[in-house]
Chain A
């Protein structure tokens, strides 16, 4: 009996088991017809292989780390669209806008004076000491262009470090992994679930053409871009932090007793070369809905050299300045939306650590809880 084409091809491809191969060879030795077919198949296979090899080797791919970061942004984008809800403004879809910290608003937060002594070749290096609430009207990005804008922003940001979070069994473990003493609220008797958040580093290079397009997208082609920004590089490094979750934070309603306390050493922000960040700050504030005069006025009320700006979406949240843990802090409260409960976040900076404490419980408990950290 003659051998089928597929078996002849498999023999040529070396895909037959030794016993089968021997049997095929034995048959070929005797059967001229099969030998001829085998030759035809071999010739065809060689031709097809040769032609396909004309397609050449693949070129090197773009840095996979960069692609992965972009992909995550896209995936989260889609998820956020699928379950649109109250966390819209604070959700990770808007991480790039929060990453306005890394882009426009980074600049807003940290103005460098000429006296700032700089490490390495970076000319700007900032360590924040206090928090300041910056009311912003995010509606500028709410008109369908938000997606493009956030994409443009995330494409401009190169993530250079993206450590994964890791669980910690005890406070001591968490402190050892994170490299600083962990403070927990004495008012809570239950044990928290501790996670050490990974170090995150990224940098952003200003591209004036792209910036101009972004201004067009937010319908502010009229805004003047500060000169000397082209090619400026802004690098942000957020160290490892510790996240303590009390109660059931799956649903995040008050009844579940969820309380989140996150503490992270202040981020390092560096710019190369030194840029006039106050100008950029005012640009950012104007994009965020202020008039030129308002932006200038606001920008002068803040010592940008040491302030961490907390953007407060005016249509979704309110805030008040409070005394907490011996320093000034900002208590942000968001309104309930759909299935998402009202939520508060208290932010303050003490001894080089940024603390955030958030819960759905009574906001009047925020400061006492924070003051019980020890």
Chain B
């Protein structure tokens, strides 16, 4: 059927669109990593995959400039972590109306205690991230995904020289926010 459909498609689009093979290459190289980064950030695989799809869809809709290929990874990480942070923040706003901590534990009676505690702690880490400035949360997440300072600078489009300062401030901010989220610690 596609053979017939192909006949009736109009060719030629206004801008440099992605060739299927170029897009496929980028997709193959980065999809798993982007899902991984989002999954850690959100703790929800389905949501991570949904956002990752959104990220690649946005990429697909951008004009394809081969010369900017070097920094596609950076663009993907930046876009993904930004979407992830936005999502964490809106989840945080929803959570304001929920009861705290213990309710989560009670909802998973079958989980071994250790696992439940770990999950609870991960939730608190996410709530902490949601309280930071987006760029602070982004840089912390990206570093914890193993990006070097140079890669962080590329991904976040900041000067390499300012990565250290941004990181130091972000860690301070994280620590303060963590104490507020979790005063018992």
Contacts and interface: CB of A to CB of B under 8 A. Distances in A.
Contacts of A62: 49
A71 B56 contact: yes
Contacts of A5: 164-165, 168
A76 to B, nearest CB: 10
Contact of B4 (A85, A86, A200, A345): A345
Nearest to B33: A58
A54 B31 CA distance: 23
B86 interface: no
A341 to B, nearest CB: 9
Nearest to A8: B168
A90 B12 contact: no
Interface residues of B, number: 59
Nearest to A106: B1
Contacts of A238: 2
A87 B9 contact: yes
A7 interface: yes
A16 B40 CA distance: 28
Given A53-B144, A99-B1, A48 B36 contact: no
A356 B7 contact: yes
Contacts, number: 176
B16 to A, nearest CB: 14
Nearest to B141: A52
Nearest to A312: B4
Contacts of A95: 1-2, 5
Interface stretch (B91-99, B102-110, B120-128): B120-128
A181 interface: no
A251 B13 CA distance: 10
Contacts of B9: 87, 90-92
Interface in B1-54: 1-13, 20-21, 24, 27-28, 31-32, 35-37, 39-41, 43, 45, 48-49, 52-53
B164 A15 contact: yes
A217 interface: no
A7 B12 CA distance: 52
Interface in A19-59: 41, 44-45, 47-49, 51-59
Given A7-B164, A61-B31, A71-B56, A260 B171 contact: no
Interface in A146-175: 164
Nearest to A241: B3
Nearest to A356: B3
A164 B1 contact: no
Contact of B178 (A51, A56, A91, A345): A51
B179 to A, nearest CB: 11
B111 interface: no
A329 interface: no
A288 interface: no
A115 interface: no
Contact of A13 (B13, B36, B43, B149): B149
B144 A49 contact: yes
Interface string B108-152: 000000000010011001101000000000001100100011000
Contacts of B121: 51, 54
A109 to B, nearest CB: 10
A373 B171 CA distance: 72
Nearest to B45: A59
Contacts of A164: 20-21, 24
Contact of A74 (B41, B43, B53, B166): B53
A91 B5 contact: yes
Contacts of A55: 40-41, 43, 122, 125-126, 144
B49 A61 contact: yes
A356 B141 contact: no
Contacts of A356: 3-4, 7
B6 A262 contact: yes
A10 interface: yes
A7 B165 CA distance: 8
Contacts of A310: 1, 4
B107 to A, nearest CB: 19
A51 B125 contact: yes
B150 to A, nearest CB: 8
Contacts of B167: 6, 9, 13
A264 B121 CA distance: 57
Interface of B: 1-13, 20-21, 24, 27-28, 31-32, 35-37, 39-41, 43, 45, 48-49, 52-53, 56-57, 60-61, 118, 121-122, 125-126, 128, 140-141, 144, 148-149, 162-168, 171-172, 174-175, 178
Given A58-B40, A241-B3, 8 more contacts: A51-B128, A54-B122, A56-B122, A90-B7, A91-B5, A200-B2, A250-B11, A262-B3
26 contacts: A9-B167, A10-B149, A44-B175, A47-B175, A49-B144, A52-B125, A52-B141, A52-B144, A55-B41, A58-B40, A61-B39, A68-B27, A71-B56, A75-B60, A87-B10, A90-B8, A91-B9, A95-B2, A99-B1, A241-B3, A249-B11, A250-B11, A332-B4, A334-B8, A356-B3, A356-B7
